[in-house]
A and B are shown apart, each in its own frame.
Chain A
Amino acid sequence: MNNQETEIQLIQITKKFGNFTAVQNVNLEIHHGEFFSLLGPSGCGKTTTLRMIAGLEEPTEGQICLAGEDVTYKPAYLRNVNTVFQDYALFPHMTVEENIYFPLKMKKVKYSSARAMIEEALSLVNMTGFGKRYPQQLSGGQRQRIALARSLVNRPRALLLDEPLGALDFKLRIAMQKVLKDIQKNVDITFIYVTHDQTEAITMSDRICVMKDGVIHQIGTPDEIYNSPESTFVASFIGDMNFLEGQVVQKGENSVTIDVDGKPIISTRFEGTFSKGDSVVACIRPEKICLDKMCDSEFQNKFENHFQASIHRIVFRGTDYEITLKFGQSEIRLIESASEFNNKKIGDQLFIGFQKDDVITYLKECKKVCDYETNLDN
């Protein structure tokens, strides 16, 4: 990340399949050595974007630059970027070694001089000694590593990964995330990572680009994306979020007060402009909310927003509890660790409190609301 030179640049990229617009007006600038994620639900255009960078798809409009060179219409085999496919795409009629040799063979490297490079690639992914096996004789995680070794052996400028961990089980996925991150540090190659898994994107990326319906919603560091989502879609897609619908009752310079089912909620962060009477959505992360039996002055001083609500649902999640409280028609979820849980019961009347700086307010447009509602259904 110290090196800020631009590796890949997408300028006003649009891709249409017949009448369907898969990607619309995408502008991206990816820096050298960056771990950059394209994140979004299925069908958001992230894979299409990746395939256009790889050269497997031609954009309908726009320009793609690779290290300053316009490669928009250059075929895939002349581009110095490699892809790790979701199904690994290892050649089943070749051994592991032959698979890794393939890109070198295409560059007319003799097998004798390629040997060392193949061995190095194998050791990079911790698969030394597997060279003589066939892909069918390997497990999913091993195939994944071989695909990685094959894509890295000729040192491309960028590695494109299309949901590479999608087919692995949970534990293996976590392990492979670490492997990927370590390898990326070792080889100093730009990684562009396509995923629909927000946790994966947040834990691994330097920067994330959130997409939906072919449009970029936000580009930023994991911190920015998580803590300052620019739309209700980003807010709902990344992490857990409470959505409280209400009306603006007071609009100050730096804060806005919203009436949610009779409770005034103060928010200091908002996207867009709105005035008194507007319908808005106030968003608050469950982990930012505190729960107390008493509403003493200390509690009141700490949390600008505090009111009473009753426990509606309790879900035990192993390390913690997810508690849903109800006030009026609105529900609010929060997380409490097992040690603090203290045998709370459904129906208990408790006080919830959260800071005004943790509430982000968005104008309630029909489309955006639909965004997070459909997302919650998933």
Chain B
Amino acid sequence: MNKTSTLKRKGKSFPFLGIYGAFVYFYLYFPLLVVFVYSLNSSRSTMKFEGVTFDWYIRLFQNKELLNSLFHSLQVSGLAVLFAVVVGTSGALFLNRIEFKGKDFFRTLAMLPIILPGIIVGLSLLIFFLNLKLQLSMWTVILGHISFTTPVVMFQVLARLARLSRNLENAAMDLGANPFQAFIYVTFPMIKRAVIGGALLAFTMSFDEIIITYFLTSTFNTLPIYLYGMLRFGLSPEVYAISTVVLGLSILLIILMAKYTGSSEETIIIR
């Protein structure tokens, strides 16, 4: 009680806080706004705005290579997330239920792919695959993505499980449900939102991943890789247009994710 009232008083005596906050948001979102506005520019110039057009968007959909890379991205992210949901959820159940020596160490190890810089993960995986004499392909890219999508889902589900009373599952079994039925009827409905939320977050991360993909791909292009390639020919309204599309898609996923994970306490902030 006391604390909140002090905070309130502080808020009143510092009107700058609001301005400061607005500035932070401006700094974060103004560049995105610029990208969006110039994606509608009818001139090729990236400096002058000469009129509104949707040409660039139409051109995007006529660009075979771009559409191909978009499809590749969806394929990679989709499969990596599918794997992450199955393995990550079972991993979370395992870490929640089973006690073993070195559990904390294991947990930290599982977290590493998210924390380590992509360049380290990408490089080590590349060396690993080359030693295994694996051809670089879509599959190596997917394996690379799995390394970070799995822990993302796992830690989302683990956070949910930690807040769940074990008694719910005990009660289910006590009332005659075998372990499988207890999972299907009781445990899974309770962690469903965390699984979906984790999957959406993992998808967002995987969809715009570039560094690990760059290390593990040969001729296989995902959307971020293709975009990066486009940039070598300079900034163009086309790049702005595709960026806007990706941005819109990401925002949509994040809104969905926020909806599914519900209150913020369930979401571990990973990024």
On A, residues with C-beta under 8 Å from B are 54-56, 75-77, 81-83, 85-87, 89, 91-93, 102-103, 105-107, 150-151, 154
Determine whether B124 belongs to the interface, using a CB cutoff of 8 Å to chain A: no
Q: Which of B31-39, B70-78, B167-175 contacts A (4 or more CB under 8 A)?
A: B167-175
Confirm or deny: B178 has a beta carbon within 8 angstroms of a beta carbon on chain A: yes
> Given that A56-B173, A102-B172, A102-B185 are contacting pairs, would A87 and B165 also be in contact in the complex, using a CB cutoff of 8 Å?
yes
Give the shortest distance, in Å, between B201 (CB) and chain A (any CB).
22
Task: Check if B190 is an interface residue, CB within 8 A of chain A.
Answer: yes
Given that A85-B170, A102-B185 are contacting pairs, would A77 and B190 also be in contact in the complex, using a CB cutoff of 8 Å? no
Q: B181–A106 contact, CB under 8 A?
A: yes
State the CA gap A164–B174 with chains docked (Å): 16
Contacting residues, chain B, for A55 (C-beta < 8 A):
173-174
Complex Cα distance, B165 from A93, in Å, reads 14
A105 to B185, CA, bound (A): 11
Size bracket of the B interface: 10 to 19
Are B170's CB and A76's CB within 8 A? Answer: yes
- A residues less than 8 Å from B170 (CB atoms): 56, 76, 83, 85, 89
Contact indicator B175/A93 (Cβ below 8 Å)? no
Q: Is B114 an interface residue (CB 8 A)?
A: no
Q: Which of A75, A76, A107 has the most chain B CB atoms inside 10 A of its CB?
A: A76
Interface positions of B from 124 to 171, Cβ below 8 Å from A:
165, 167-168, 170-171
Contact of B190 among A76, A87, A92, A103 (CB under 8 A): A92
User: Contacts A91-B186, A93-B190, A102-B185; is A107 near B176 (CB within 8 Å)?
Assistant: yes
Q: Which positions 87-146 of chain B face chain A at CB distance < 8 Å?
A: none
Bound-complex Cα distance A107 to B177 (A) = 9
Chain A residue contacts of B165, Cβ below 8 A: 87, 89
Minimum Cβ distance to chain A for residue B12 (Å)? 36
B-side contacts of A87, CB under 8 Å: 165, 167
CB < 8 Å: which of B171, B173, B175, B190 contacts A75? B173
Q: How many A-B residue pairs have CB under 8 A?
A: 61
The 3 A-B pairs with the shortest beta carbon distances in the complex, nearest first, are: A106-B176, A89-B171, A103-B175
Asked if A89 and B176 make an inter-chain contact with CB atoms under 8 angstroms apart, the answer reads no
A93 to B167, Cβ gap below 8 A?
A: no
Is B248 at the interface (CB under 8 A from chain A)? Answer: no
User: B168 contacts which of A91, A103, A107 (Cβ < 8 Å)?
Assistant: A91
Question: Would you give the shortest CB distance from B179 to chain A, in whole angstroms?
Answer: 8
Roughly how many angstroms separate A174 CA and B168 CA in the complex, as a whole number?
A: 26
CB-CB contacts below 8 Å: B176-215 with A: 176-179, 181-182, 185-186, 189-190
Assess A93 versus B174: contact at CB under 8 Å? Given A85-B167, A87-B165, A87-B167. Answer: no
Ordered by A's residue number, 17 sampled pairs between the chains whose C-beta atoms are within 8 Å are A75-B178, A76-B173, A77-B176, A82-B174, A82-B175, A83-B174, A85-B171, A87-B167, A89-B168, A89-B170, A91-B168, A91-B171, A91-B189, A93-B189, A103-B175, A106-B175, A106-B177
Instruction: Give A98 Cβ to nearest chain B Cβ, in Å.
Output: 10
Task: Determine whether the beta carbon of A77 is less than 8 Å from that of B178.
Answer: yes
- For B185, the chain A residues whose CB sits under 8 A away are 91, 102, 105
* Contact call A102/B175, Cβ cutoff below 8 A: yes
Hey, which chain A residues are within 8 Å of B167, CB to CB?
Answer: 85-87, 89
* Residues of chain B within 8 A of A83, CB atoms compared: 170-171, 174
Distance of A87 from chain B, by nearest CB (Å): 6
Closest to B168 in A: A89
Other 12 A-B pairs with CB < 8 A, given A82-B174, A87-B165: A56-B173, A76-B170, A81-B174, A82-B175, A83-B170, A83-B171, A89-B170, A91-B189, A102-B172, A102-B177, A106-B175, A106-B177
A103 to B172: give the CA distance in the assembly, Å.
Answer: 8
